[in-house]
Structures are given as C-alpha cells and as structure tokens.
C-alpha cells in the first residue's frame, strides 16, 4: 500500500497583471510543493487539504489540483465562500510586487467544527505537510489544538516555516507557534532567510539551532545550495543555469526532497534532487514547470 500524504494549506487565485489585462492562474505554497512531490514520487498518494467555496474560481482551483494528479476528496466546499486572491504587478525596472485579498478566504475555516476544532480529516494519513502560511491563516485556538493533535498522533510531520509577517498578528506569536512546530517536526525544511527574519538570528545561529534540535531535513540557502540537517553531507551544488523567477523555488525544493526521501533515497541524493528541481523552477516564469512529455 502506498504512503498517504496530506498537504495542507491555502490554494489561491493568481492574477498576473500585464498592462490592462491579467492572466488567471492557481497558486499556493503547499500546493506547489504537492505538485512537485507528486512528480518526484508518483507512487505516493498525495492529497490536498483545504477549504474552497462553490464559486467558479473555486471550481477552477479544484480542477487544477485534480489535473496535477493530486487527490481532492478531502477538500471541503463551503457554500457562499470564495478563495483568496492575489495580483502580481511588475515595475518598469522589473521588480515584482504582490497585492492580496485573502482575509475572508474559505481556507481560513480549515478544521472548523461545530464546536471544537476537528482534525478527523487528517486521520489515516502517514505524513502531514504544513507550512507557516498554513498555520498563520488559522485562528490561534485552532493552531494550538492542531499542534496538540499532531503531538499525540502517529503521523509524521513535515514543516516549512515560510514566514510571512503580514499573516501573523505579531512576531512573538509567530515565534512561539513556529518553535512548537519545529519541536514536533519529523522533517524540517526551513529557509535560512525566513528563520533569520523571524528569530532575529545570524545565519550561523540558525544553523546551530537546528543542529541542536537534531531534526532531519534541509536548511535552504538559496543559490548556495542546502545545508543538511540531522546527517552530515558534503557535496557541491551546481548553480542554476538561468534565473528568471524565484517563485516556488523553496516549494519545489520541498516537494522534490520529500519525494526522494519517501522513495528511500540517501540524504545526499535527496538534497541534490531537490536542488536540481529548484534550479529548474527558477528558470521559468511562474510556480509550475511544464510536465516533461514521456
């Protein structure tokens, strides 16, 4: 029986603005990771866990997820609600900026029960993949209840802090919750820049903190290549041949790394596969590379 993986988070509608027109797409950090995880290891059963509305844009999101070979059976449909939306605009100098409309998105109702939070949707999965964005959009009591559920369950937790300050009520809360999640993570996939921003640490202090934590995973360091967590690995990582757009570089790394690890790859091979995947992704515009034709 194949491993069951739940990728949990928010899938959004993306508007790529060009002059007076906009291209409409689908995006989301844990969704991006789910796509690359599915491609890296097709033997896995990868499901996406989120809440959507019953509007045409929600249907577009669901169709996109299904077309990527990702399970949709545990996506909750909330009548009358809508997904989050964001727009990408580009300055004359080529700098990209993002404007978000997500405060009332359906995904913020993840795990909402008639009384207490309900995590039964996660029961039966072998692995749960979460990010800091997933956690930040939840009400604080639900965050705490989710962490308690994860600690008490047998599920393996994969976490990427993916720190976005605007989603959190304050930095102190983000630090507290992120620290709790690092403590219960079986595989940690932090980015050094996010950890430096969140905890006010130097690069070396971030590396030392994760070394003391003893968790397996990878510390993403951009073009420098990843640092291995939990197992010493010494190897050189080739630079990306062409950097066009860094969107989803970290998400694709996470998906490829997790796919390799769950296929039984060595730590060194998993890190290299993830780095090469991310290097390919930064060479195209957008989050998702075209599928390679068989």
The set of catalytic residues is: 251
Burial of 7 (0-12, 13-18, 19+ CB in 10 A): buried
CB 222 within 8 A of CB 194: no
Question: What Cα–Cα distance (Å) separates residue 161 from each residue in 100, 136, 249, 253, 270?
Answer: 20, 10, 15, 14, 20
- The position carrying tokens 């630079």 is 239
**141: which 2 tokens?**
């009591």
The two tokens of residue 40 are: 């890296």
C-alpha 80/C-alpha 116 separation (Å) is 22
Residue 47 CA to residue 7 CA, distance in Å, equals 6
Query: Can you point out the beta strands (E) in 55-212?
Result: 76-77, 85-90, 96-101, 127-131, 156-160, 187-188
């Amino acid at each position: 029986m194949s491993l069951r993986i739940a990728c949990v988070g928010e899938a959004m509608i993306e508007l790529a603005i060009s002059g007076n027109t906009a291209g409409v797409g689908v995006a989301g950090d844990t969704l991006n990771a789910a796509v690359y995880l599915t491609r890296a290891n097709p033997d896995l059963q990868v499901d996406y866990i989120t809440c959507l509305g019953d509007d045409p844009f929600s249907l577009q999101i669901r169709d996109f997820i299904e077309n990527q070979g990702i399970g949709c059976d545990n996506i909750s449909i909330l009548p009358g609600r809508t997904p989050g939306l964001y727009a990408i605009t580009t300055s004359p100098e080529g700098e990209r900026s993002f404007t978000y409309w997500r405060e009332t998105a359906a995904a913020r109702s993840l795990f909402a029960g008639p009384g207490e939070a309900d995590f039964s949707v996660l029961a039966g999965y072998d692995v749960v993949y979460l990010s800091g964005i997933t956690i930040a959009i939840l009400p604080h009591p639900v965050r705490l209840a989710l962490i308690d559920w994860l600690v008490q369950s047998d599920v393996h937790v994969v976490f990427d802090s993916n720190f976005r300050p605007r989603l959190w009520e304050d930095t102190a809360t983000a630090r507290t919750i992120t620290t709790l999640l690092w403590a219960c993570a079986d595989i940690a996939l932090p980015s050094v820049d996010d950890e430096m921003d969140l905890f006010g640490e130097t690069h070396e202090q971030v590396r030392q903190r994760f070394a003391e934590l003893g968790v397996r995973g990878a510390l993403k360091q951009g073009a420098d290549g990843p640092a291995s967590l939990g197992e010493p690995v010494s190897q050189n990582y080739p630079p990306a041949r062409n950097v066009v757009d860094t969107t989803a570089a970290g998400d694709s790394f996470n998906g490829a790394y997790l796919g390799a690890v769950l296929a039984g790859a060595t730590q060194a091979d998993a890190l290299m596969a993830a780095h090469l995947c991310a290097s390919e992704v930064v060479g195209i515009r957008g989050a998702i590379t075209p599928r390679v034709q068989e």
